[in-house]
Structure 1
């Protein structure tokens, strides 16, 4: 299964890179919607994060997540990147993106992996996930601070609900930070010709 995972990822990437046909790029971009996430997961989800299939799996899942949560992600970006920094430039997004900007960015990052510089696409994905992870941490802290500023919690069950939500946001943030590191590591491996 591992060999099939690596071969299919390499074949897909090679096919699109050599084709440069916009229709082929579009089909690959929408692979999850047309083939289904379960098919892609069966091939690539168990792959190591520092492998080509593992990185492609994460890129496809990032695109799917960004497209289906565009409004929340735009808000989280604004929390994590309140002023334009290098992360905005690297990711290729304004400091105050709209929901449509998030969708365009999701497509741009994934298509860049197939028709542009693969390492740059991974660095864009890493910068983006880093900022959204920071936005999640800011939101979690704000959630608890707002409750504390409003005189604390009405009951212990209210406190538990708020703290549980905040903890989930922090957990998601940690997962995104791990994914950002996998993208950055993948970019480094790609540049050295060692991402297989």
Structure 2
């Protein structure tokens, strides 16, 4: 539509499409349908989903599905760094680890499998449980980011060393693979680059923490029959 779609129309479409997609898969026993939904972003690109759902209220069905798809994409693209951050944080977050469904220190392929399991579980299992699993997973990574940021800021490079990209919005959990020099330290005194990297990690941690809260709230609303 010239000039963009009417906001009310777009909102109606976003809610209707999210509900229809979730209902369709819940009532399907065809594994091909589940696979098509799971890999929707891979096949169609994130833009089409963003256009439909990214502007929806966070604590709505389209808003939460948007974040679940984004979480899967982020996890698969950054599986190495996330596995490293998990190994840093897991000893301090064992209960969250159990809820997330990871009982041992994960490898890259384990992160990718967990990403698929969380999203597919939202469509084929208990939606609230899937959201709680997503929330627990992100909470562990938030802890890992905080630990790593402290290490970098204090000149300790022995941690995961995950670096962040320059752009990180409330819907962008950007972590790039470690390159061995991400912390930018010199001796025991943190450099300006190290402080910048630590700040970016904390920024990403804050974004993820907010997303975990959305997942937790969504699980509560779903059980109350109020998530639309």
The TM-score range, normalised by the shorter chain, is over 0.9
Give the number of the structure with larger relative contact order, counting CA–CA contacts within 8 Å between residues 6 or more apart.
1
Q: What corresponds to 1:23 in structure 2?
A: 32
Normalised to the residue count of structure 2, the TM-score between the two structures is: 0.81
- Provide the alpha-carbon RMSD of the alignment: 1.4
Q: How many Å separate the matches in 2 of 1:47 and 1:84?
A: 31
Unaligned runs of 5+ in 1: 154-158
Q: What corresponds to 1:170 in structure 2?
A: 202
8 Å Cα contact 2:72/2:115 also seen in 1:
yes
8 Å Cα contact 1:84/1:95 also seen in 2:
no
8 Å Cα contact 1:126/1:181 also seen in 2:
yes
Q: How many Å separate the matches in 2 of 1:169 and 1:146?
A: 15
**Equivalent position to 1:150, from 178, 181, 187:** 187
After superposition, the Cα gap between the structure-2 partners of 1:23 and 1:164, relative to the gap in structure 1 and judged at 3 Å, is same
8 Å Cα contact 2:154/2:188 also seen in 1:
no
Greater CA drift, 140-149 or 109-118 = 140-149
Q: CA deviation at 1:94?
A: 2.6
SS in 1 for 2:189: coil
8 Å Cα contact 1:82/1:95 also seen in 2:
no
Alpha-carbon displacement from aligned partner over 1:51-90 (angstroms, at most 9, x marks no partner) = 0000000000000000010000001111111266111110
Q: How many Å separate the matches in 1 of 2:54 and 2:66?
A: 6
Q: What corresponds to 1:133 in structure 2?
A: 142
- Count of residues in correspondence between the two structures: 191
8 Å Cα contact 1:77/1:95 also seen in 2:
no
Unaligned runs of 5+ in 2: 1-9, 157-184
